[in-house]
C-alpha cells in the first residue's frame, strides 16, 4: 500500500508540476497574444476595387503600396486580400482613426512638380523605380542612385519638362511631403533617368520604395470600416477575464461538490487546459477578439462535458458492483465514443464558421476549435492520470466517487406528443411574429447593420441619460453635425453607453459627429466605437449566414449517418437542430433582438452544442440496443437511455449556462448581443436533446417497421400496453 501511495504521490506531483509549468508559461505568453482591434483599439477597413475584375498584378501591387502606407501609422498594421476584388486593412493602436480613413485609398499621391508648381507627371506614370550603384567617373567611388523608367505618356511629359528646366530643380512630392529634389542636368527624352548623390544605398532604396508606392494601381471604395477606442478595448478585456475567472470558480466548486474526487481531478485538468489554451493562442498567432474571448469562455463550459460523461459512467459502473479501479477504467472506455463523436460534430460547426465567417467570427471559431480539442485531450489523458494518482494515494472508497444505481425509466416517450405540440407552437409563433413584423413595415427580424448596411456608433457618456434626454439633447446635435434626420438610438442596460444607428455616413460625417459629441457632452473620443457597412457587403453576409447553417447541418448529418450506420439517427438529430435554430429565431423575432454579425456564430454554436448532447443520448441508445433483452420493448430502451443520460444533460447545460450567463452580466454590449440568444439556445438544445431527438428516432423506427410488416407497430403497441398493465 505504501508503495502504491508513493507512486500515486509521484504521479500527482508530476501532474501538478505540469499544471503549474504550463500555467506559468500560459500567463507569461498572455502578453504575446495578438489582440484584435476590438480589444487593442484601432481601425479596420474593407475596400472593394471600383472595377469588378482587377488583375492579380494590380491587386498585389495595390496591397503592397497600401502596406507601405499603413506602416506609417503602426508597425503592426496588416493589409491582405479577401476574395477577388477586396482588400482588408487592420491598423491597431491608432488614435486619429477618421484621418486615416480619409487618407487611405486616395490615388495619385506621388507627383513630380517643376519650380513654378506645375505637375509634370504622377506616380502612376512611373513603371520602374530601383536602387542601384554606379561608379563615379572622376573619383572611381561608388555613387548610389535611383533609376526610373516611365510609360509612354510619362516619357513625353518628362521629356518636355526636363527640356524646359535644365539647371532647375524637379520636386518629387509624396503625400504632400518633398521626398527628393534632383537638379535637371540635361533633357531626358528616352523614358529613363537616374537620381544620383543619394549618400547611402539605404537612402536610395527608401526613395525607390517611396516612388513605387506613390500611386495606387486601383481605385478603391469603402465597403466596411470599424473604429474602436483603445480604452474601450481594455475595458472589454478586463470584464471578459473577470467573467472567465468567476465562471471558472463556480464550475470548480460545482464539480467538486457533485462529483467529489473525480470533480477535483477535472478541476486540475481544467487548470492545465487554461494554460495550454494561452500557449497555443500565442504559438499559432491567433488574433484574439471579443468573440474569441467568448469562444474561450464557452469552451471552458463545454470542457466540463467530457468529464461529466466519464464521471457518470464511473458512478454507473460502481452502482452495478464493480470495484472503483475497474469502474474508472470501464468508465473512460465506455465514454470514449460519445466524447469523440460529440466533439467532432462541434468541430464541424467551428470549421464552417471559420470558412464562411468574417474576421471576428473566425476568431470565435478558432478559439472554440482549440478549446474543443484541448478539452478532449485533457479529459481523456490528464483527468485519467490525476484520477488514478488520487486513487493510489488512498482515495479508494466508493463514497469518494459516488454511486449511481439504475432508476426506473422516466416515460419521456409518453410525453412526446405534448413536446411535439409545444415545439411546433413555438416555431409557428415565431413565423407569425416575423410575418406580422414584415406586414407592419418593421421587418421580419431586427436586422443589424451587418445585414442591412449603415453606420453604428457606440458612445459612452459621462453620466446616465434617459431616452427623453437623448431625444431632446443628443439627437439634435447629431442631426446638425451629420445632416441625417433618421437616427435610431438604443441604451445598453446597466451602463452609460448608447448606440446610434444611421444610414451609411461618410468619413467627414463620422468625424463631425464625433467632434460634436466631444464638444457638447464631454465624451472621451477613445470610448467612441464606429462601424460602417455598405449595403453590398450586408447582402453577402445574409447569404453567408444561410449557407453556413445549411453546410454545417449537411456535414453533421453525413457524419452521424457514417458513425451510427442508421439514417434515422442522423435525420432525427438534424430535425432537432432545425428545431433549435427556428426556436432561437423565434426569440430573435419576438424580442426584436438585433441580428448582427454574431448571429451566424450564435446559431452554429447552438447547432454544435445541441448535437453534442444528442450524440450522448444516441450513443446510449445504440449501446442499450445491443444489450436489449426479449422483455424490453423499443420504448423501454429509449426511455432508459434518456433517463441514464439525463443527469449528464442537465449538469453539462448548467455549467455551460453559468459561463455564458456570467459573461452576459459582465460583458460589453457586443458580447451581450451574442450571449443572450446563446443562453436561449442552450436551454432549447437541452430540451430538444432530451425530449425531441429520441422521440423522433422512435417514431421513425416504428414507422419503418409498419412499412415493412404492416402489423409490427400494432404488435409493438400491444406489447407496450400489456407491459404497462402488468406493472
Is the pLDDT at 312 greater than 50? The verdict is yes
Partnered with residue 43 across adjacent β-strands are: 91, 227
Last residue of a domain, one of 90, 105, 120: 105
Q: Report the CATH number at residue 480.
A: 3.30.70.100
Is the pLDDT at 727 greater than 60? The verdict is no
Is the pLDDT at 88 greater than 70? The verdict is yes
Separation between Cα atoms, residue 346 and residue 610, nearest integer Å:
9
> 127 and 99: one domain?
no
Q: What is the pLDDT at residue 95?
A: 61
* Contact call for residues 237 and 39 (beta carbons, < 8 A): yes
Kindly report the average pLDDT of the chain as a whole number.
83
Q: Is residue 681 part of a domain?
A: no
* Contact call for residues 76 and 327 (beta carbons, < 8 A): no
Q: Is residue 290 part of a domain?
A: yes
Q: What is the pLDDT at residue 35?
A: 75
Q: Is residue 584 part of a domain?
A: no
Query: What confidence tier does 488 reach under pLDDT thresholds 50, 70, 90?
Result: confident
Q: Which has the minimum average pLDDT: 325-329, 496-500, 561-565, 664-668?
A: 664-668
Domain extent, residue 465, equals: 454-533
Last residue of a domain, one of 179, 212, 245: 212
> 191 and 330: one domain?
no
Q: Is residue 438 part of a domain?
A: no
> 376 and 503: one domain?
no
Q: Is residue 680 part of a domain?
A: no
> 86 and 22: one domain?
no
Residue 686: name the closest of 641, 649, 651, 659 by CA: 649
> 122 and 244: one domain?
no
Q: Is residue 695 part of a domain?
A: no
> 310 and 264: one domain?
yes
> 64 and 129: one domain?
no
Percent of the chain at pLDDT exceeding 90: 25
H or E element that contains 525 = none
Q: Report the CATH number at residue 84.
A: 3.30.70.3400
Is the pLDDT at 569 greater than 60? The verdict is yes
Query: What confidence tier does 158 reach under pLDDT thresholds 50, 70, 90?
Result: very high
Number of domains in the chain: 4
> 244 and 196: one domain?
no
Q: Is residue 153 part of a domain?
A: yes
> 245 and 381: one domain?
yes
Q: What is the rounded average pLDDT of the residues 249-277?
A: 90
Question: CA dihedral defined by 367, 370, 376, 382, rounded to 10 degrees?
Answer: -100
Q: Which residue has the cell 516612388?
A: 211
pLDDT one-digit tens code per residue, 453-466: 778 888 889 888 88
Question: pTM of the full predicted structure?
Answer: 0.70
Separation between Cα atoms, residue 616 and residue 569, nearest integer Å:
12
> 86 and 202: one domain?
no
Last residue of a domain, one of 517, 533, 549: 533
β-pairing verdict for 126-135 and 42-49: unpaired
Is the pLDDT at 20 greater than 50? The verdict is yes
Cα→Cα distances 532→90, 91, 222, 327, Å? 14, 16, 9, 58
The SS3 call for residue 491 is strand
Q: Is residue 63 part of a domain?
A: yes
Q: What is the rounded average pLDDT of the residues 198-227?
A: 77
> What stretches of 284-358 show up as alpha helix (H) in DSSP?
290-319, 324-356
Averaging pLDDT over each range in 104-113, 512-521, 589-598, which range is the top one?
512-521
Separation between Cα atoms, residue 116 and residue 165, nearest integer Å:
10
Is the pLDDT at 575 greater than 50? The verdict is yes
pLDDT one-digit tens code per residue, 437-456: 888 888 888 877 666 777 88
Separation between Cα atoms, residue 179 and residue 175, nearest integer Å:
9
Q: Report the CATH number at residue 305.
A: 1.20.1640.10
> 340 and 386: one domain?
yes
Q: What is the rounded average pLDDT of the residues 334-338?
A: 88
> 310 and 207: one domain?
no
Amino acid at each position: 500500500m505504501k508503495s502504491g501511495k508513493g507512486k500515486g504521490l509521484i504521479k500527482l506531483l508530476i501532474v501538478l508540476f505540469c499544471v503549474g509549468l504550463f500555467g506559468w508559461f500560459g500567463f507569461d505568453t498572455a502578453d504575446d497574444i495578438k489582440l484584435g482591434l476590438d480589444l487593442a483599439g484601432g481601425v479596420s477597413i474593407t475596400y472593394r476595387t471600383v472595377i469588378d475584375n482587377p488583375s492579380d498584378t494590380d491587386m498585389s501591387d495595390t496591397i503592397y503600396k497600401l502596406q507601405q502606407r499603413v506602416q506609417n501609422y503602426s508597425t503592426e498594421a496588416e493589409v491582405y486580400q479577401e476574395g477577388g476584388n477586396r482588400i482588408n486593412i487592420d491598423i491597431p493602436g491608432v488614435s486619429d482613426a477618421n484621418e486615416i480613413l480619409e487618407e487611405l485609398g486616395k490615388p495619385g499621391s506621388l507627383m513630380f512638380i517643376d519650380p513654378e508648381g506645375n505637375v509634370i507627371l504622377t506616380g502612376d506614370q512611373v513603371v520602374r523605380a530601383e536602387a542601384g550603384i554606379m561608379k563615379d567617373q572622376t573619383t572611381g567611388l561608388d555613387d548610389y542612385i535611383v533609376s526610373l523608367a516611365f510609360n509612354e505618356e510619362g516619357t513625353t511629359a518628362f521629356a518636355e519638362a526636363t527640356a524646359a528646366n535644365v539647371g532647375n530643380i524637379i520636386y518629387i512630392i509624396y503625400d504632400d511631403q518633398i521626398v527628393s529634389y534632383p537638379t535637371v542636368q540635361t533633357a531626358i527624352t528616352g523614358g529613363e533617368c537616374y537620381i544620383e548623390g543619394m549618400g547611402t544605398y539605404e537612402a536610395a532604396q527608401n526613395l525607390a520604395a517611396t516612388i513605387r508606392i506613390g500611386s495606387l494601381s486601383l481605385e478603391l471604395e469603402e465597403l466596411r470600416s470599424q473604429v474602436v477606442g483603445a480604452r474601450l478595448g481594455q475595458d472589454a478585456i478586463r470584464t471578459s477575464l473577470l467573467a472567465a475567472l468567476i465562471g471558472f470558480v463556480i464550475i470548480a466548486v460545482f464539480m467538486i461538490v457533485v462529483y467529489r474526487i473525480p470533480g477535483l481531478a477535472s478541476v486540475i485538468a481544467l487548470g492545465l487546459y487554461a494554460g495550454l489554451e494561452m500557449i497555443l493562442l500565442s504559438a499559432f498567432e491567433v488574433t484574439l477578439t471579443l468573440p474569441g474571448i467568448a469562444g474561450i469562455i464557452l469552451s471552458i463550459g463545454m470542457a466540463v462535458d467530457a468529464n461529466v460523461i466519464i464521471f457518470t459512467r464511473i458512478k454507473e459502473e460502481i452502482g452495478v458492483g464493480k470495484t472503483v479501479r475497474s469502474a474508472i477504467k470501464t468508465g473512460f472506455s465506455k465514454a470514449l465514443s460519445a466524447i469523440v463523436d460529440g466533439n467532432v460534430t462541434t468541430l464541424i460547426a467551428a470549421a464552417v464558421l471559420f470558412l464562411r465567417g468574417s474576421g471576428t467570427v473566425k476568431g470565435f471559431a478558432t478559439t472554440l476549435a482549440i478549446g474543443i480539442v484541448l478539452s478532449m485531450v485533457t479529459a481523456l489523458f490528464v483527468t485519467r492520470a490525476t484520477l488514478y494518482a488520487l486513487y493510489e494515494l488512498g482515495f479508494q472508497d466508493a463514497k469518494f466517487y459516488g454511486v449511481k444505481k439504475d432508476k426506473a425509466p422516466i416515460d419521456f416517450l409518453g410525453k412526446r406528443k405534448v413536446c411535439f405540440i409545444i415545439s411546433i407552437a413555438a416555431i409557428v409563433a415565431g413565423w407569425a411574429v416575423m410575418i406580422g413584423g414584415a406586414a407592419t413595415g418593421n421587418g421580419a427580424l431586427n436586422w443589424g447593420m451587418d445585414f442591412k448596411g449603415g453606420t453604428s456608433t457606440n458612445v459612452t457618456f459621462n453620466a446616465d441619460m434617459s431616452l427623453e434626454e437623448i431625444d431632446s439633447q443628443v439627437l439634435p446635435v447629431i442631426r446638425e453635425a451629420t445632416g441625417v434626420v433618421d437616427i435610431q438610438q438604443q441604451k445598453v442596460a446597466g451602463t452609460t453607453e448608447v448606440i446610434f444607428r444611421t444610414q451609411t455616413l461618410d468619413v467627414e460625417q463620422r468625424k463631425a459627429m464625433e467632434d460634436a459629441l466631444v464638444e457638447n457632452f464631454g465624451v472621451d473620443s477613445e470610448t467612441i466605437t464606429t462601424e460602417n457597412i455598405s449595403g453590398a457587403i450586408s447582402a453577402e453576409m445574409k447569404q453567408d449566414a444561410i449557407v453556413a447553417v445549411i453546410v454545417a447541418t449537411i456535414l453533421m448529418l453525413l457524419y452521424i449517418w457514417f458513425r451510427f450506420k442508421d439514417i434515422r439517427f442522423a435525420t432525427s438529430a438534424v430535425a432537432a437542430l432545425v428545431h433549435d435554430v427556428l426556436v432561437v429565431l423565434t426569440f430573435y423575432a419576438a424580442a426584436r433582438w438585433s441580428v448582427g454579425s454574431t448571429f451566424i456564430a450564435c446559431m452554429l454554436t447552438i447547432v454544435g452544442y445541441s448535437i453534442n448532447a444528442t450524440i450522448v443520448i444516441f450513443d446510449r441508445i445504440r449501446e442499450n440496443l445491443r444489450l436489449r433483452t426479449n422483455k424490453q420493448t423499443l420504448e423501454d430502451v429509449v426511455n432508459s437511455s434518456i433517463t441514464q443520460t439525463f443527469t449528464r444533460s442537465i449538469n453539462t447545460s448548467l455549467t455551460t449556462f453559468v459561463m455564458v450567463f456570467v459573461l452576459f452580466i459582465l460583458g460589453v454590449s457586443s458580447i451581450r448581443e451574442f450571449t443572450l440568444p446563446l443562453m436561449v439556445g442552450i436551454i432549447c438544445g437541452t430540451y430538444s436533446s432530451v425530449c425531441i431527438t429520441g422521440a423522433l428516432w422512435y417514431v421513425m423506427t416504428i414507422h419503418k417497421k409498419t412499412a415493412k410488416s404492416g402489423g409490427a407497430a400494432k404488435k409493438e403497441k400491444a406489447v407496450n400496453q400489456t407491459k404497462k398493465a402488468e406493472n
